[in-house]
């Protein structure tokens, strides 16, 4: 969903360039992301971080991990970063990238990222837009290029068609998972929902009684 532009967003991002890294700077930072964090810790990224509820929640819950939220919409990344800054100040383990998730291998070196999250990505339902889906094979190739061997991708969605499409895409790419890392109704699985951090969309769909599809797959 495209958010209505906020007149304050561009200036806020410029003023807080230590929190939000633009696309050009992200490319130059390749191979040296740990230098931006207080501690050298595993880096987990979320592609399509939206308004930031998930990535902020994860950073607060896991101070032993460095998190980066990547978002292509200026308004969304500004809202996310300002939400974080206004609520808890400058977190030592959270940064944002204002940039495109396509070509993520241009931002990170192999094994520079330990885990990747995709949450409620745009389903792009039309067949002619298949290549825009974040679980399409070209995106998977980019993810594999920055993760370690058997690197982990965690994916949540409310969209059954996108979930089924993604399962096939993962299989075709050679990815694997176990039954304990898979759910057709995450919030009905008491064991699997432990530690789950909800996104804004997740809460919205749960309120409507829609199941949340979830998988944790490995390359």
Binding region? 46, 71, 100, 122, 126, 158, 199-202
Bridge partners of 70?
47, 97
Q: Which stretch of DSSP H or E encloses residue 157?
A: strand 152-157
Instruction: Tell me which of 122, 172, 181, 191 is the catalytic residue.
Output: 122
How do strand 43-47 and strand 115-119 relate by DSSP bridges? Answer: parallel
CB 121 within 8 A of CB 157: yes
Compute the distance between CA of residue 153 and CA of residue 23 in angstroms, rounded to an integer: 22
Query: Exposure string (b/e) for 76-100, b if CB count within 10 Å is 16 or more?
Result: bbbbbbbebbeeeeebebbbbbbbe
Helices in the chain by DSSP H: which ranges?
A: 9-15, 23-28, 53-61, 74-88, 137-146, 160-173, 200-207
Nearest C-alpha neighbor of 38 from the set 69, 63, 70, 71: 63
122 catalytic? Reply is yes
Binding region for substrate? 126, 158, 199-202
Catalytic residues, by residue number, are 122
């Amino acid at each position: 969903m495209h958010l209505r532009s906020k007149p304050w967003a561009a200036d806020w991002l410029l003023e807080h360039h230590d929190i939000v890294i633009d696309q050009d700077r992200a490319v130059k930072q390749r191979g040296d992301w740990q230098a931006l964090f207080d501690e050298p810790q595993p880096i987990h990224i979320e592609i399509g971080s939206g308004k930031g509820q998930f990535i902020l929640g994860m950073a607060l819950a896991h101070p032993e991990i460095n998190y980066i939220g990547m978002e292509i919409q200026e308004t969304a990344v500004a809202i996310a970063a300002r939400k974080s800054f206004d609520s808890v100040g400058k977190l030592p383990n959270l940064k944002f990238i204002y940039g495109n998730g396509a070509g993520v291998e241009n931002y990170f070196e192999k094994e520079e990222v330990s885990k990747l999250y995709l949450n409620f990505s745009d389903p792009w339902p039309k067949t002619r837009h298949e290549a825009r889906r974040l679980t399409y094979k070209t995106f998977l190739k980019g993810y594999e290029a920055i993760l370690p061997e058997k690197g982990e991708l965690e994916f949540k969605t409310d969209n059954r068609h996108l979930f089924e499409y993604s399962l096939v895409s993962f299989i075709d790419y050679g990815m694997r998972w176990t039954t304990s890392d898979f759910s057709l109704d995450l919030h009905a699985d008491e064991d699997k929902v432990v530690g789950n951090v909800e996104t804004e969309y997740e809460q919205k769909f749960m309120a409507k009684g829609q199941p949340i599809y979830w998988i944790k797959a490995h390359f």
